[in-house]
Structure 1
């Protein structure tokens, strides 16, 4: 059985006031390699706070977070940055592609920041674009791509360093139903024994495509199996 890629136990996050805001309350979540899990909840429920903590962009006030079995709760800012760059890929609703760079150079960017040699960066970027079905658009710039193609480039950029955790924040929010289905199929394929995929979403289609879904309500998590 696949080991948990991500384990959150009793997370809380309190923002100082006045008034004091309890964004997360004793939230727990475990995601194994090979799983695609959707996180749903109303605005203000705490799901964005949860995403920031899972992505090592913020620290919990209390609780424990483990990534690949390692307790990352008490890491320094520098250590969190390194762990995030090594183990986590991010995909957002807005594609955040650099308009003047072609697809290959957009996908290379995480590797540039990691100091990977230029020739290796190119090979890995091309391989990642091939993985998302865009081997024929290597030199295209974002402005010439459809919304679905742009999101696939963003996914390629998120996986180019082979992360163990892929965090997606409303990845289909700017896509029509056809492109949504294409991106969801891709995300499911990327949920391999060595990688977990977590998707924050309001979209029923996304929720139904996941192995299970977690509802965040009043800062707490409850898990449900998808139909």
Structure 2
């Protein structure tokens, strides 16, 4: 991954099958600190030529051991969970966990600007209002005329390839992420589940993801501790 450290003159890279090439635009070292006091230093990378035109960022957290693929998480932006600590989802705790696990192992966290599974912040809050009326997270999207999950991971494949990552272990409970990356030409050697972060406010949401979209969340653990 250190091959992509040139911050001012990004090098051309080959792309996965059918995916346009992207290049690293800037790579800068940033010390990170979380609300619980955990701190780590990451290299944050930005990119040229991402197909969706969004300002996605890669947090590069150490180097994997020789012969071991990097641990990678595709984390979709969640203002309510990541920034405000909302208990209606598990995004904030997943982000915190992912940064530490990736730093210990060596790998990359892609912070993807895909608020609300790709429907945007305002639509996500509209969907929350419908959930308060009894709809689940997917039915609420459908009631708004929106897809259950609008996320496309082509830009994520571009970012990984620009960082010279073509083989990886994926930190995720969502089987669609691995399936899309494989379709885009990357090798996902192992699917590594995240922890289970259930609260009284999100347990129904987590159970819905496990049942309807086959997230690898053990239903027996989806209780409030």
If each structure's strand is expressed as a fraction of its own residues, which one has the higher value? 1
Same topology, TM > 0.5: no
Q: TM-score, structure 2 length as denominator?
A: 0.26
Greater RCO, CA 8 A, separation 6+: 1
